[in-house]
Structure 1
Amino acid sequence: MEARKENRAIAACGAAPQPDPYGIARSLTRAQQAWLEHPQALWGELLRLQGGMAAVAAQVGARWFGLPMPDVEVPVAEDERFQDPVWSAHPGWDALKEQYLLLSRWLVDLAYGAPGLDEQERRRAGFWTRQYVDALAPTNFLWGNPVALLRALQTGGASLADGLRHFIEEAPEGLPRMVDMSRFRVGGNLATTPGAVVMRNELVELIQYAPSTERVRAIPVVIVAPWINKYYILDLNERKSLVRWLTGQGFTVFVTSWRNPGPEMRDTTFEDYVLKGVGACVEAAREICGVPQVHLTGYCIGGTAVAAYMAWMNREAKPKSRLPVAHWSLFTTLVDFSDPGDIGAFIDEAAVEEIERRMAGRGYLDGAEMATSFRMLRPNSLIWHYWVHNYLLGEEPPAFDVLYWNMDSTRMPEAMHRFYLRELYLHNRLAQSDALVLGGRKIDLGRIAQPLYAVGTEQDHIVPWRQSFRICGLVKGPVRYALSTSGHVLGVVNPPVQPPKRAYWAGEAAGAADAEAWRERQPKVAGTWWEDWAAWLGERCGDEVPARAPGSEAFPALAPAPGTYVLER
């Protein structure tokens, strides 16, 4: 404890930061050195680039003379930078586009393919190379963006004046704004499903939602939201609310709303989130509903805590029927951190030490730092798109509820986040039998026998779906896995609509050698996995009973939803 206080004092007094904590220069230098040590392979790559440049020159020459010629480098469908027709209609802009795509892809391929480096080193070099080439795209500069130049001419320069005003306003924030924050209010046009806070401690509020049917299933659904952002992603508005939809299907629904930590919570641990958070909410829901068991669901890091709780709970020497959770679900959750995807570029020993240095001075990791890291995982869509639209085109940020939630970030307590980075990301101990101790018990995912419904999303940049699928091989109980199209948020916030916007695959995971083998044997279904999940829940959540009003004598309603913790900044 004294050593810990001393470390904090050193950091608070201004311990020097590392010059390259995230290993940017180190990883790029290693990749460069690797190619120099393999000159024959490098020569082959240079010849490949030369061939590509010759093909682009031939294409551009043909188009200058009005001859039809297919693109040498075709932008991917989701790359909106070159979607305007001018990029293909005018040979000059077409040449700029083709040369940029050829060179940028070649550089990224070179980094990811550096010989002699391990997979982690190549991935890190590729990640940082991609950051550079995306930043240097011609579309990010006025002189290289024909759409912005035309807008400036059409508006007599007003678009540039507006863009400069936006830049001056937003520069202190470090990144372009993604959304007009003035258009939304939690409890006003967000998080409006009726309910009440029925339990509150120093860490979490538990919200129970009012029923919308006369009868409900006996076993309630307790959803553990992530604490990296706020819970109302599950209750955005009447059309995009999972909790409102679930109550309409005849379920009693509880959701956690976590406190936004300040310096006073610096010693709050991951164990606290699991036992004082998840465990306390499970016990409150059982008492309020008068049932021995609940269905427990976790989303993102909330799901990681749920998995830890399930392993902790199953260490008890009791029959399954006497344990507090009957079955459980995970939405886009990592429990095996051996391959966390691109976010691994931020997480090695040096980077964790730098994050710890920052947290030690104030007691938490600021939410803006987490948000920046996540935006860097998709720089073109989450950074440079807004750079172009806010500054080069002079447009106002849009009013989009999901982006408002994304920007309404929260802080991470120092002790919890240190544990999360070191024990889970660096050492992957949650996936190892008896490697972690919570509440005095060694935990082992392999002891979990309760049925599980797990969800991944095809384009998830935070929790790669193949990695989330690994839960299927770590637990003892049966697993039904669902894979949705779209990403980490929109693949989960996925209400039924007509015609369907998305699709999913769903099926039992038993017998699948790996994630791809599982997907190959599942039919692709148009629509949302919500309906498949509700059917799975309906088979397990018991008979119907009279609908329950929020609260009980032991847990009276304390405040109307959305509660107070969600409003903390």
Structure 2
Amino acid sequence: MPAQSTPAKLPGWEDFAAITDPFGIADSWRQSLQSWLTHPDQLGERYQQFATDWLAVNQQIWQRLCGITTGDAIPVIEHDERFHDPAWSTHPGFDALKEIYLLHTRALVDAIYASPGLDTKTAQRAAFWVKQWLDAVAPSNFFWTNPTAIDHALESNGESLRQGAANFARDLAAGDVLMVDPHAFTLGRDLATTPGEVVLRNELLELIQYTPTTPQVRSMPVLIVAPWINKFYILDLKPRNSLVRYLVSQGFTVFVTSWKNPGPEARDTGFEDYLIKGVLAAVDTAREITGAEQIHAVGYCLGGTTLTSLMAWFAADAATTPPIAHWTLFTTLTDFSDPGEIGVFLSEAAVGFIEQGMAGKGYLDGREMARSFRMLRPNSLIWHYVVHSYLYGEALPAFDVLFWNMDATRMRAAMHSWYLRELYLGNHLAQGALTIAGRRLDLGSIRQPLYAVGCEQDHIAPWKQTFRTCGLVGGPVRYVLATSGHILGIINPPVDPPKRRYWVGDASGCSDAEQWRASIAKVPGSWWEDWTAWLHERCGEWRDAPAAAGSAGHPPLAAAPGCYVLEK
């Protein structure tokens, strides 16, 4: 008998949704709506509460129209700058707009989070995309419903509108809503000015060794592994807030990785290449130049995840002394079970969509990643600049951190796909299920002392998730929780009077982040001082500073900040 052919499988709803809705926007909304329709009693209670709030808002509107001053029925959140203009409270029309907008916004978002029977991740995804739309239609984003914009236009005789139109044309040509003047700074002149030399260059990175500024230095060097998703000079901005310059001034020999901005030719470069040809090569170079048996290594964000993987890779070879004596992590995830708000972009369908976009180019454009991160804080990172640039006609600021933030880098296709699947989707590093270069990575086998830093308002690497590393590694851990966010919590130089605060204490083997914080007193000042004291205890004896950078095996190749950081 002839073989019977298997009928082709017809594409179903899931296949269609993966193509048309890879980020699960419509599907999450559908599930939220369905959950309410199947619970009519709770839906009725929700409508009853909305009707009560609507009556309170209407009462406020009529009172303001009659000149009666009352408190807001729906109060503005303290730090919501959209409604800071006094007109939003004193002018009855603008006050009504504000209250009606806030009423509907909060009612809709609260209803999504309270959807009966809906799992947390789906509710978060649905609320995230609804808030994107709600933030976009805020009355403050339109000229005729923004009292400040109208005042600016009248006071400037229309000049603010003319300049706003010019700013809009500028951003249209740039293909983005600009946050900072792209010509405000020059690397090597205004930013990344700490003197040093490139002492290693390969297809992945340049390694910069910085010039000592003290007559003596600690014998053990400090190697900083910057994230390849960004350019390294966030660690060396202006002299007043440069972490690199601060470390050098404290008597440490500092090396920093500067990753190459890849093109299509690097599409097949993978995580193992970054680990062995990148970070391990930098470790070996720092040891060879300084003559140190071991070094101190620092990893920031994704650079920290890579460093953690390397530490576990070393630990898998029990017969060899690791070349890293102790280590530091800045805002680093090693357990990706709850990656925070970025999780709304992560699913099997979404990663497949991203991979399709990378397939032709061989990389993910850094601007695409930057837009995703801006969407996590749309009011402060998108609509603020729309309003100030287009409605107020203001010039772009010259802000060093924003300049760095807009200086995006590309990500190699194979590397980025692996990272999303193995870590974000699979969480295989924390589970001990990764094998790299022939060795299985077990975080519990890492015994070297760790200094870990998380940031209280970090929306990219939530601090409670970074705290999980304390319970995963096998060595002693000193943990710091800094105030502020992913960047400003780390770029936190000592100032007088102290600008920020932090919690710090032993967290070895701890798994409960809130319990740890409750047992620790908040300290005023910069954690940089606590960290350098910790380093001084461990980084060896003092010795005369070297007269020149590099060595016979690794001669200087170029002055800092090097060549790779300049590539666009």
* Structure-2 residue corresponding to 1:286: 287
1:73–1:474 CA distance, 2 compared to 1 (3 A): same
Query: 1:174 Cα shift?
Result: 4.1
User: SS at the partner of 2:161?
Assistant: helix
Cα deviation per residue 1:433-456 (whole Å; 9 max; x = unaligned)? 2x1111111111111110101111
Cα distance in 2 for partners of 1:464, 1:484 equals 12
For the 8 Å contact 1:295–1:328, the answer to whether it is kept is yes
1:315–1:230 CA distance, 2 compared to 1 (3 A): same
Cα distance in 1 for partners of 2:180, 2:346 equals 28
For the 8 Å contact 2:471–2:509, the answer to whether it is kept is no
Cα distance in 2 for partners of 1:147, 1:135 equals 18
Query: 1:172 Cα shift?
Result: 4.4
* Structure-2 residue corresponding to 1:85: 86
Which has the larger displacement, 110-119 or 408-417? 110-119
* Structure-1 residue corresponding to 2:21: 20
* Structure-1 residue corresponding to 2:342: 343
* Structure-1 residue corresponding to 2:312: 311
* Structure-1 residue corresponding to 2:327: 328
Query: 1:176 Cα shift?
Result: 1.3
Does residue 126 of structure 1 match 2:124? no
* Structure-1 residue corresponding to 2:9: none
* Structure-1 residue corresponding to 2:503: 505
* Structure-2 residue corresponding to 1:479: 477
Give 1:478's aligned amino acid.
P
Q: TM-score, normalised by structure 2?
A: 0.95
For the 8 Å contact 2:18–2:349, the answer to whether it is kept is no
* Structure-2 residue corresponding to 1:171: 172
Cα distance in 2 for partners of 1:288, 1:451 equals 24
Cα distance in 2 for partners of 1:125, 1:41 equals 19
Give 1:560's aligned amino acid.
A
Does residue 412 of structure 1 match 2:442? no
Cα deviation per residue 1:171-216 (whole Å; 9 max; x = unaligned)? 2444311000111111110100000001111101100100010111
Cα deviation per residue 1:197-246 (whole Å; 9 max; x = unaligned)? 01111101100100010111111110000111100000001111000000
For the 8 Å contact 1:459–1:486, the answer to whether it is kept is yes
User: SS at the partner of 1:487?
Assistant: coil
Cα distance in 2 for partners of 1:72, 1:271 equals 57
Cα distance in 2 for partners of 1:153, 1:17 equals 50
* Structure-1 residue corresponding to 2:388: 389
Which has the larger displacement, 49-58 or 60-69? 60-69
User: SS at the partner of 1:261?
Assistant: coil
529, 532, 535: which one aligns with 1:531 = 529
* Structure-2 residue corresponding to 1:371: 370
User: SS at the partner of 2:332?
Assistant: coil
Cα distance in 2 for partners of 1:302, 1:77 equals 35
Give 2:440's aligned amino acid.
K
Give 1:418's aligned amino acid.
S
Which has the larger displacement, 506-515 or 450-459? 506-515
1:540–1:489 CA distance, 2 compared to 1 (3 A): same
* Structure-1 residue corresponding to 2:6: none
517, 520, 527: which one aligns with 2:518 = 520
Cα distance in 2 for partners of 1:414, 1:91 equals 54
Paired-residue identity, %: 60
Cα distance in 2 for partners of 1:511, 1:104 equals 42
User: SS at the partner of 1:106?
Assistant: helix
User: SS at the partner of 2:20?
Assistant: coil
Q: TM-score, normalised by structure 1?
A: 0.95
* Structure-2 residue corresponding to 1:232: 233
Give 2:291's aligned amino acid.
G
For the 8 Å contact 1:175–1:383, the answer to whether it is kept is no
Cα distance in 1 for partners of 2:95, 2:382 equals 24
Query: 1:325 Cα shift?
Result: 0.4
* Structure-2 residue corresponding to 1:262: 263
Cα distance in 1 for partners of 2:525, 2:490 equals 12
1:175–1:39 CA distance, 2 compared to 1 (3 A): farther
Gaps of 5+ in 2: 1-16
Query: 1:397 Cα shift?
Result: 1.1
Cα distance in 2 for partners of 1:287, 1:132 equals 55
* Structure-2 residue corresponding to 1:440: 438
For the 8 Å contact 2:467–2:511, the answer to whether it is kept is no
* Structure-2 residue corresponding to 1:149: 150
Which has the larger displacement, 55-64 or 105-114? 55-64
User: SS at the partner of 1:18?
Assistant: helix
User: SS at the partner of 2:448?
Assistant: coil
For the 8 Å contact 1:298–1:305, the answer to whether it is kept is yes
Counterparts of residues 351-366 of structure 1 (less than 5 Å): 351-366=350-365
Cα deviation per residue 1:377-417 (whole Å; 9 max; x = unaligned)? 00000000001011111111111111010000000000000
For the 8 Å contact 1:176–1:390, the answer to whether it is kept is no
User: SS at the partner of 1:239?
Assistant: helix
Give 1:53's aligned amino acid.
W
Give 2:467's aligned amino acid.
F
* Structure-2 residue corresponding to 1:454: 452
Does residue 241 of structure 1 match 2:239? no
* Structure-1 residue corresponding to 2:423: 424
* Structure-1 residue corresponding to 2:561: 562
Cα distance in 1 for partners of 2:536, 2:47 equals 60
Cα deviation per residue 1:122-141 (whole Å; 9 max; x = unaligned)? 11111111111111111011
Cα deviation per residue 1:325-362 (whole Å; 9 max; x = unaligned)? 00000000111111011111111011101100010011
* Structure-2 residue corresponding to 1:55: 56
Cα distance in 2 for partners of 1:85, 1:499 equals 32
Query: 1:74 Cα shift?
Result: 2.4
For the 8 Å contact 2:85–2:147, the answer to whether it is kept is no
Cα distance in 2 for partners of 1:76, 1:464 equals 22
The number of aligned residues is 551
Cα distance in 1 for partners of 2:78, 2:282 equals 44
Cα distance in 1 for partners of 2:347, 2:155 equals 49
User: SS at the partner of 1:57?
Assistant: helix
1:350–1:168 CA distance, 2 compared to 1 (3 A): same
Query: 1:513 Cα shift?
Result: 4.7
